[in-house]
Amino acid sequence: MNRGETSDVRREVYRTYVSDKMSYERAFRVKDYERWARNTYRQLRGWLPQDLEARILDAACGHGNVMFMLRANGYRHVEGVDVSEEQLALARHVVGPVYSSDVMVFLSERMGVYDAVMAFDLIEHFTKREVLDFLRHVRDSLRPGGQIIIQTPNAASPFGCGLRYGDFTHEIGFDPASLAHVLRLSGFVDVRFRETGPTIHGPRSMVRWLLWRCIRTLLQVWNLAETGGRQSVLTRVFRARATRA
């Protein structure tokens, strides 16, 4: 499929992305955003800019959950951009004004502007060529020392393929090694990874955390027995942080 055909498919699918696939999000309430924001902020601790005046872009902001998290934790200069009007309508309801634009075009017009770019659930929607183009646009949009934070399905997880192929618009999958490769190829350094497993914030979450630790240990034993190596990122979704060189 050439780039023109790919664009045509995306326009057709994204036009009704929320109503056809994500209709449950129409019922999102503030408390749902708050719960997600608390858990995700815990998982990102130490990765986000220390300066609350930092300028941050949420690339492909979707329904605005990342922007909501950042603003709830005091960040004052947060922007969002997305191409799906249905998702933007949800975002505007929760976080206010957001940009309607192709993220590549948007970034190409903002050189050296941002201290951080968030890219949650985005790069898996790109072709290989587009992944490299996107990361280089992000690199150029960042100030020196700026960072990108990525969330994407984990091809190294036993359940990663369920997310990789669970969305018709997904084009590619990554594990930490392949993502580190393309980040370094695109001008980033100091690439770090984290899992997205349960965090402890009450009795029920503690039980989930303990169960996950047990399951994770068994998965590591499985991998060690099969390959003789160690796989440290096993959740079905993982996150990466890298710094502009």
- Tens digits of residue pLDDT in 159-196: 888 888 888 889 999 999 999 999 999 999 999 999 99
pLDDT at site 162: 86
Q: Chain centroid to CA 88: how far?
A: 17
pLDDT at site 166: 86
Amino acid at 178: S
**Summary mean pLDDT of the chain:** 91
pLDDT at site 27: 55
Q: 131 in the Ramachandran plot: left (φ > 0), alpha (ψ -120 to 50) or beta?
A: alpha
| pLDDT tier for residue 86 given thresholds of 50, 70 and 90 | confident
Torsion of CA 5, 8, 13, 16, to 10 degrees: 180
pTM (predicted TM-score): 0.90
Tokens at 228, concatenated: 């003789």
**Beta-ladder partners of 150:** 119, 240
Q: Which domains does the chain have, with CATH numbers?
A: 3-199+232-244 (3.40.50.150)
Q: Do 72 and 34 contact (CB within 8 A), yes or no? A: yes
C-beta neighbour count of 17 within 10 angstroms: 19
pLDDT at site 2: 54
Return d(Cα 244, Cα 138) in angstroms, integer: 9
How much of the chain, in percent, has pLDDT values that exceed 70? 90
Q: Do 150 and 188 contact (CB within 8 A), yes or no? A: no
pLDDT at site 230: 84
The dihedral through the CA atoms of 223, 227, 229, 234 has a sign that is negative
pLDDT at site 12: 73
Q: Do 198 and 122 contact (CB within 8 A), yes or no? A: no
pLDDT at site 196: 95
pLDDT at site 30: 84
